[in-house]
Amino acid sequence: MPRVNPEILVWARKTAGLSVDDAARKLAFKDTTNGTAVEKLTAYEAGQGDPSRATLVKMAKAYRRPLLAFYMAAPPRPGDRGQDFRNVPDRQPGSEALVDALVRDVRARQSMVHSILVDEEEAVPLGFVGSVSMNDGIGAVLASMRRTIGVDLADFRAQSSPDGAFALLRNGVEAAGVFVLLIGNLGSHHTAIDVEAFRGFALADPIAPFVIINDQDAKSAWSFTLLHELCHLWLGVTGVSGVFSDAAIERFCDDVAGSFLLPENELPLAGVTQTTLVDEAAKLISDFAQQRHLSRSMVAYRLQRSGLLRADAWRTLVTRFRDQWRAGRDAQRERDRLKDTGPNYYIVRRHRLGSALLKFVSRNMSDGALTPTKAGKVLGVKARSVAPLLNGAALTVGRAA
């Protein structure tokens, strides 16, 4: 068996977001004749002794890496995020490792989709990817996006819930050729990525553009994030977005997304002015946002950008809205845990994957272009889960039927 470069062991652990203590607990070494589990792992990482194959299998599982990765000569470069637009206060190595792992996973899946589409005779570059610049202005970009996805704002607001409104918007975006996925963890709630570390990811490929939305965020915020990342595609810029950013391109994409969902001429209807007290503004914004299937924070942002809401009041409200949402989310999770109920795994997975990717996989499995194993990699599931996942979905042949 070839020797393992100890640098690989350190790299695999750190990029999994684990300290030595955390990794030692996960690995749960049974044979600790040479010291504690921590001492044993530390020795391996220092090049003192070679881990057995069984140990490497444990590491592969704990660090979410393929076994072959441990036989590389040297650690690879960090995952290519494109541009990183985030202002993340006090970035935690664990969260950053999860974001890197998510980007690597998405890029691998997108690469497979791209390659297959290139082999299809009907696959052509999507003209809207990289078709504009910020110099064209918010209005021009907004008009182009509306024409392409064909979603009417009145229809969006006529839906029964924020989830339904998002589904309408997502259908329009996927019909235009964009794959829209909801991903907020790496397969379990233990790897959930906080929305402040990652809100969205746009992969601006003209053949197979992907938009990833962190589904750990409030459902009322998904539509705004989708449109924000869609603007990145129109600008032809791949990158990761967070909640906070001072970058000009992020403000531009925020303004395009905000204008799509809440036109400037409607802002006075919220009833908020510079003199409105914070508690009253919170109530007015909450009612106004609920009627339009929008997040309260987005409405507050639009009011602040227009000058109707003071900057200090906006910051106070955003913090309040975020804290209230988290408290409500945690309470709901606890109720679901006590009831021991929840939606079917495959229903949840289909919702996260979106109809465009499911149709793509179904069609290419029928054509023989994808094996169950490769289909599982594209969908992010085990090969044995592909058939029940596709069998329960209402699929029609076509890229974005």
pLDDT of residue 93: 53
pLDDT of residue 398: 39
Detail the DSSP E strand segments found in 206-245.
210-213, 239-241
Mean pLDDT throughout 338-343?
Answer: 70
pLDDT of residue 316: 96
Q: How many residues does the chain have?
A: 401
pLDDT in tens, 217-250: 999 999 999 999 999 999 999 988 877 667 889 9
Q: How confident is the model at residue 86 (pLDDT cuts 50, 70, 90)?
A: low
Is the pTM of the predicted complex or chain greater than 0.85?
no
Q: Which of 257, 243, 251 is closest to 299 using CA atoms?
A: 257
Q: Which of 241, 217, 245, 216 is closest to 229 using CA atoms?
A: 241
Reading phi first (left if > 0) and then psi (alpha if -120 to 50, else beta), residue 398 is in left
pLDDT-wise least confident of 26-35, 138-147, 374-383: 26-35
Detail the DSSP E strand segments found in 59-177.
83-84
DSSP 243: S
Mean pLDDT throughout 294-311?
Answer: 95
Q: How far apart are CA 147 and CA 202, in angstroms?
A: 20
pLDDT of residue 31: 58
Question: Which CATH number is 6-71 given?
Answer: 1.10.260.40
Q: Which of 25, 59, 106, 100 is closest to 357 using CA atoms?
A: 106
Domain ranges of the chain: 6-71, 81-256, 262-342, 345-391
Provide, rounded to the nearest whole percent, the portion of the chain with pLDDT above 70.
Answer: 89
Q: How far apart are CA 4 and CA 44, in angstroms?
A: 9
pLDDT of residue 399: 44
pLDDT of residue 401: 36
Q: Which of 15, 34, 26 is closest to 55 using CA atoms?
A: 26
Residue 92: how many other CB atoms lie within 10 Å:
12
Give the three-class secondary structure for 212: strand
pLDDT of residue 97: 77
Mean pLDDT throughout 131-136?
Answer: 96
Instruction: Compute the 3-state secondary structure of the chain and give helix, strand, coil in percent, each to the nearest 5.
Output: 60, 5, 35
Is pLDDT of 66 > 50? yes
Give the three-class secondary structure for 239: strand
Residue 177: how many other CB atoms lie within 10 Å:
23
E strand or H helix at 230: helix 219-235
Task: Extract the tokens encoding 350.
Answer: 């289909």
Reading phi first (left if > 0) and then psi (alpha if -120 to 50, else beta), residue 322 is in alpha
